[in-house]
Amino acid sequence: MPYLRLEKDNDVAVVWMDQEGEKVNKLGDYLLGEFTAVLDDLSQDNSIVGAVLISGKPDTFIAGADLERVNEITEPGAIQTLVKQGHALFNRLENFRIPVVAAINGAALGGGLEVAMACHYRIATDSPKTILGQPEVQLGLLPGGGGTQRLPRLVGLQKSLDMMLTGKNIYPRQGKKMGLVDQVCSPYALLDAAKQAARDLARKPRKEAKRKPSFFDKVLEGTALTRKMAYKKAREMAEKQTRGHYPAPMRIIDCVEAGLEDGIQAGLAAEAKYFEELWRTPQSAQLRNIFFAMTALKKNPNQDLVKPVDKIGVLGAGLMGAGIAQISASKGIDVLMKDLDFDALGRGKKTIWGELDRRFRKKALSAFQRDSIFSRVDGVIEYAPLGKSDMVIEAVFEDLDLKRRVLADTEAVTPDHCIFASNTSSLPIKEIAKNASRPTQVIGMHYFSPVPKMPLLEIIVTPKTAKWVVATAVDVGIKQGKTVIVVKDGPGFYTTRVLAPMLNEALLLLEEGGDIENIDRVMRKLGWPVGPVTLIDEVGIDVGAHVTEVLSKMFAKRGVSSTDAMGRLLAEGYKGRKNGKGFYKYEKGSSEKGKKEVNTAVYEFFGGSTRKRHNAEEIRRRLMLVFCNEAARCLEEKILLSARDGDIGAIMGLGFPPYLGGPFRYMDQLGTTVVLEALEALAVKHGPRFTPAKIIAEKAADNGRFYDA
């Protein structure tokens, strides 16, 4: 069998899952026959009293469904039939004549967790790579292997909805506390512990009711009336968070309600029906496109050129530097963090400790893991100790002279093979490397704040950057857990460059008399996590003014002038959230029920207090199309290597609404002819900043697309 291997240890069967030719185990229709054959074998062997289901892969139990395989199914109703076949198999496993123990090391996600939940007992290892979750909602789907039915019965209504509606990861100790996992052990003890558990269960079967609900859970879940209130509240929260753009959360709640109120068979029937329904939605199609793109980006195309990086130097112990140090240390890399004095280093290390300790308190890390990661970060105030670094990443202020100075100081003490990476959001790398002694080893690594949470890393290469340097930087980024895109050098690179025109357009709307709150509300309703004006405050008006200065020459060559609003605001002391003086108020008591209050004093920079509300469609069209047009220019000028990278960069780095697929998928969805006509109309009305990119006109000429499919 290419997937399952059956071994017998006296009275216990061990079923090894080791999908041939794959790095991880996935669930597909090809597994149905094999699994059925194994169960048939075990059902006829009376010498076997228990079974263990365990993975032969080093860091994965089962990663989830084989989405590419399901993608091949086009016949209506066929996916629903496949889901029902999976249900039948999992039901058989759940009701099997002998106890089956799921031995989990590594990821048990989606269908992988559903397999484990159909078993009678779950043991998870305390490995940092062991995570459990139902992330299907992130693909616009619902758990289709009985997850909407078994999860609420294991962990309760509230916790199960939280898991399924957010797609969050659960770590082993969390899982043990909530009833999802029965036992936690060392990876080295997993197989023996699972065999022993199987024998113990054979001797003394466990009682059905394993979960001990809290008093709150008993009250909330105890009656049909209180559960009805819980479903209602969950739907209200889902509607608020998705703004109606994502149908999956509502269908998940529907399935859970059907199962708990009308029985598990009704719940499974709803699950099968709605899984296919969701699969066919445009939202799920776009989210799956994102998933496939991210999966592809986890593979380094030039892995053979990678040189080892065992020690990293980080220049700057601020939030960015501390974040880079933390994610590097978390992946086993030794880090030397340098700053001007020990006070600054202390603040940086305190930031790292706080984040690690928060994860420990959430039971995502053990105390030993937390302490081990923290011990990999050391602090220095001199350059000399960086002499053994394989890579140095600078995270100092966005000042060209300063960056050139720290590059020169770094090159003076580091070995010949050391890579110098600049964490800059806008300054051209070739300008930073202008006087470098090793220009081929200078590269940009643009992280996003907060570094531990933001998934994107934008790597910037100059014409002089050596291929092995690019390959090694990509390898480091992937190890750090980032989704990495590689772009060519230029003012603002890709992400900053495409964001700048959109924020500029928002300020121009204000100069036309627009209302701050209205502009932000319209864009949030479209699916952006925050509105553009709020984003300016979050990034910093000082940063915005600097970016405007860096990019203004490039835009001026096209006849496009940027508003000087941020420069004028900065001159009057406005920096945004960081100093409590921005487009919104940040002093204590200035927000009501979490809603920020507009700082109306800022309107004096935009024509006075009399404001108007622009039409929502006009706001959306202007801001979205100026963003997409600049993305197209980046592809046209080969700043971007592909439309795929542009979409991933916009979604992961800037918050472009995922259900729209990114700027290039969005333009394909609208049609390039429609986009061209809309831009031309806006250019007539508002000027050359809307002049369509040539590549859009070329695509529209033959009704073309940015993607083949």
User: Angle at Cα 41 formed by Cα 39 and Cα 47, nearest 5°?
Assistant: 110
Judge whether 510 and 570 are in contact, CB under 8 Å.
no
- pLDDT score of 271: 98
What is residue 2's predicted lDDT score, i.e. its pLDDT? Answer: 83
Instruction: Classify the C-alpha dihedral 169-171-172-173 as positive or negative.
Output: negative
pLDDT(641) > 90? yes
User: Per-residue confidence at 362, pLDDT binned at 50, 70, 90?
Assistant: confident
Q: Which of 163, 195, 191, 196 shows the shortest CA–CA distance to 178? A: 163
Exposure string over 98-129, b if 16+ CB within 10 A, otherwise e:
bbbbbbbbbbbbbbbbbbbbbbbbbbbbbbbe
Q: Tell me, what's the pLDDT at 209? A: 47
> Per the structure block, which two tokens stand in for 122?
């779950």
- Per the CB < 8 A criterion, the answer to whether 367 and 177 are in contact is no
Alpha helices per DSSP H over 637-671: 643-654, 663-670
- What pairs with residue 391 in β-bridges? 312, 419
Which of the following is catalytic: 136, 458, 505, 630?
A: 458
Given a cut of 90, is residue 169 above it in pLDDT?
yes
| Token duo for residue 259 | 């199962």
Those residues with Cβ within 8 angstroms of residue 478's Cβ, 6 or more apart along the chain or in another chain: 298, 300, 484
Q: What span, in angstroms and rounded, lies between the C-alpha atoms of 70 and 285?
A: 12
- Beta-ladder partners of 123: 103, 183
Helix (H/G/I), strand (E/B), else coil: 55: strand
Contact 52, 116 (CB under 8 A): no
**Cα-based angle 530, 531, 532 (whole degrees, multiple of 5):** 120
10 burial type by CB count under 10 A (0-12 exposed, 13-18 middle, 19+ buried): exposed
Place of tokens 């959230």: 577
CA distance 181 to 166: 19
Range 689-695 average pLDDT: 97
Q: Token pair for residue 171? A: 């770590």
> Burial of 476 by CB count in 10 Å (0-12 exposed, 13-18 middle, 19+ buried)?
buried
As a whole number of angstroms, the distance between CA 659 and CA 292 comes to 14
| Domains identified in the chain and CATH numbers | 4-280 (3.90.226.10), 303-488 (3.40.50.720), 495-701 (1.10.1040.50)
What's the chain's average pLDDT?
A: 94
Is the pLDDT score of 210 beyond 60? no
Q: Look up 22 and say whether it is catalytic.
A: no
**CA distance to 8, 363, 447, per residue, from 188 (Å):** 19, 20, 36
Quick one: tokens of 100? 């089956």
d(CA 604, CA 244): 36
CB neighbours of 702 closer than 8 A, spacing ≥ 6?
Answer: none
Q: pLDDT of 401-453, one tens digit each?
A: 999 999 999 999 999 999 999 999 889 999 999 999 999 999 999 999 999 99
Contacts of 250 (CB under 8 A, 6+ apart): 235, 238, 239
C-alpha closest to that of 290 among 707, 676, 637: 707
Distance CA 492, CA 501 (A): 11
Would you state the pLDDT for residue 67?
92
pLDDT the model gives residue 211: 58
CB distance 181 to 193 below 8 Å: no
pTM of the predicted protein model = 0.92
Judge whether 133 and 163 are in contact, CB under 8 Å.
yes
Beta carbons of 327 and 480 less than 8 angstroms apart: yes
Give the span between the Cα atoms of 382 and 339, in whole angstroms.
Answer: 8
Q: Give the closest residue to 507 by CA, choosing from 557, 548, 555, 546.
A: 548
Tens-place pLDDT, residues 78-87:
999 999 999 9
Q: Quick check: helix, strand or coil at residue 229?
A: helix
C-alpha torsion angle, residues 171, 173, 176, 179 (rounded to 10) = -50
Q: Is the peptide bond before 450 cis (omega within 30 degrees of 0)?
A: yes
Helix (H, G, I), strand (E, B) or coil at 598: strand
H helix intervals, 574-662: 616-636, 643-654
d(CA 130, CA 61): 9
pLDDT level of residue 594 (50, 70, 90 thresholds): low
d(CA 382, CA 340) in angstroms, rounded, equals 8
The mean per-residue pLDDT over the stretch 553-577 comes to 93
Dist CA 501 CA 507 (whole Å): 10
Say if residue 227's pLDDT is above 60: yes
pLDDT tier at 223, thresholds 50, 70, 90: confident
Cβ atoms of 674 and 299 closer than 8 Å: no
Taking residues 390-397, what's their average pLDDT? 96
| Angstrom distance (rounded) from CA 645 to CA 183 | 42
- Which tokens in the block code for residue 37? 């054959």
Q: What is the pLDDT of residues 46-70, one digit of tens each?
A: 999 999 999 999 999 999 999 999 9
CB 26 within 8 A of CB 20: no
Which residues fall within 8 angstroms of residue 574, CB to CB, at 6 or more apart? 541, 581, 582, 602
Kindly state the tokens that stand for 409: 């100081």
The string of pLDDT tens digits covering residues 623-635 is: 999 999 999 999 9
In single-letter form, the type of residue at position 49 comes to: V
Distance in angstroms (rounded) separating the CA atoms of residues 15 and 17:
6
Question: Does residue 696 contact residue 672 with C-beta atoms inside 8 Å?
Answer: yes
Tokens of 277: 């329904």
The backbone torsions φ and ψ at residue 14, rounded to the nearest 5 degrees and listed phi first, read: -115, 115
The number of CA neighbours under 13 Å toward the Cβ of 194 is 32
Q: At residue 572, does pLDDT exceed 80? A: yes
Task: Find, among 114, 156, 119, the residue nearest to 132 by Cα.
Answer: 114
State how far the alpha carbon of 533 is from the alpha carbons of 360, 601, 703, in Å.
Answer: 35, 15, 35
Residue 236: exposed, middle, or buried by beta-carbon count in 10 A (0-12, 13-18, 19+)? exposed
pLDDT tens per residue across span 489-509: 999 999 999 999 999 999 999
Q: Please indicate whether residue 187 or residue 588 has the higher confidence score (pLDDT).
A: 187
C-alpha to C-alpha distance for 651 and 357, rounded to whole angstroms: 29
pLDDT at residue number 592: 60
| DSSP letter for each residue of 145-156 | TTHHHHHHHHH-
Tokens of 401: 């002279």
